[in-house]
């Protein structure tokens, strides 16, 4: 039996042949193989959504070429504007709420016509209990002082006359109390009481008017300052400083307050 001896040249040719055969087989398998392409990539390439999930790999190159051609084509600006408008209509942006700025003259007139109307117009509802509480307090004080003034006035008139049937002043005295011999002293007491309650009745009227005027002023000032902007840099700073004395031409150390706005 003869022995087959191959040189290194023969081995090199054999290796090259094997490599060529493997390359042909790999190309055939790659041609027949399918690769799953994501739906997002299909949508970007312009393929309908009902397309199968798997397409041949050789068609991907064709799709990329078609996509490049579409990108090189002129852009339809009118279509883009219509699409952007439709997107804005579909998802509108949140609208910033407009700040309420009341009219000072309207607030003043409402406060003059209706007590507390200016505060309602300025939307400062927390001030209404203060305003109406002041009116109710002044009205109660006015009614009380007026009633006491009327009673003491009638008692003073009864004690001043000589008619024994008019004795309403006895309602202010202890039961079965006799004022014989001291009429002049009780006349002076009832006179002072009458004047006392008359003075506080008049004061209650002025307080009622004062609350009314304050409610009008508050409505006007509140509406006028509603648009007043206070800077964030507003502040008061206390710092040491050297104070020059012009008379003695001497300097002294002290503190100074600086307002920054």
Does residue 155 or residue 90 have the better pLDDT? 155
Contacts (Cβ under 8 Å, ≥6 apart) of 124: 222
Separation CA 120–CA 90 (nearest Å): 39
Could you tell me if 127 and 119 are in contact, meaning their C-beta atoms sit under 8 angstroms apart? yes
Separation CA 108–CA 102 (nearest Å): 11
Confidence of residue 242 (pLDDT cuts 50, 70, 90): confident
Give the mean model confidence (pLDDT) for residues 182-202.
91
Query: What percentage of the chain exceeds 90 in pLDDT?
Result: 32
Q: DSSP secondary structure string, 174-222?
A: -TT---TT-HHHHHHHHHHHHHHHHHHHHHHHHHHHHHHHHHHHHHHHH
pLDDT at 104 over 60: yes
- What is residue 96's DSSP assignment? P
Give the mean model confidence (pLDDT) for residues 176-186.
82
Could you tell me if 121 and 131 are in contact, meaning their C-beta atoms sit under 8 angstroms apart? no
Provide the pLDDT for residue 57: 46
Average of per-residue pLDDT values in the chain: 74
The residues spanned by each domain of the chain are 8-67, 104-228
Token output for 71: 């990108």
Provide the pLDDT for residue 233: 61
Give the mean model confidence (pLDDT) for residues 241-257.
71
Separation CA 188–CA 156 (nearest Å): 9
Provide the pLDDT for residue 2: 41
Provide the pLDDT for residue 37: 47
Query: What percentage of the chain exceeds 70 in pLDDT?
Result: 57
Provide the pLDDT for residue 238: 76
- State pLDDT tens for residues 24-76: 655 555 555 444 444 554 555 555 545 444 444 454 455 455 555 555 555 55
Does residue 3 or residue 92 have the better pLDDT? 92
Provide the pLDDT for residue 251: 72
The strand pairing partners of 240, in sequence order, are 255
Token output for 75: 């852009």
């Amino acid at each position: 039996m003869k022995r087959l001896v191959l040189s290194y040249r023969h081995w090199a040719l054999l290796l090259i042949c094997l490599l060529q055969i493997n390359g042909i087989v790999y190309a055939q398998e790659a041609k027949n193989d399918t690769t799953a392409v994501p739906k997002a990539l299909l949508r970007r390439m312009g393929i309908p959504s009902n397309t199968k999930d798997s397409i041949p790999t050789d068609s991907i190159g064709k799709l990329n070429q078609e996509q490049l051609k579409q990108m090189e084509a002129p852009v339809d600006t009118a279509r883009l504007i219509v699409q952007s408008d439709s997107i804005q209509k579909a998802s509108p942006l949140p609208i910033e709420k407009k700040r309420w700025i009341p009219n000072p003259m309207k607030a003043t007139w409402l406060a003059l016509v209706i007590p507390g109307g200016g505060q309602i117009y300025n939307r400062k509802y927390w001030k209404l209990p203060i305003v109406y509480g002041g009116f109710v307090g002044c009205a109660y004080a006015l009614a009380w002082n007026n009633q006491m003034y009327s009673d003491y006035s009638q008692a003073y008139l009864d004690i001043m006359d000589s008619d024994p049937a008019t004795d309403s002043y006895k309602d202010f005295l202890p039961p079965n109390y006799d004022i014989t011999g001291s009429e002049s002293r009780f006349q002076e007491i009832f006179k002072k009481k009458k004047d006392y309650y008359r003075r506080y009745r008049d004061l209650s009227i002025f307080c009622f008017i004062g609350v009314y005027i304050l409610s009008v002023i508050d409505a006007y000032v509140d509406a006028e300052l509603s648009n007043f902007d206070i800077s964030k840099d507003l502040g008061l700073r206390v710092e040491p400083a050297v104070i020059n004395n012009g008379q003695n031409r001497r300097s002294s150390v002290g503190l100074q307050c600086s307002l920054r706005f």
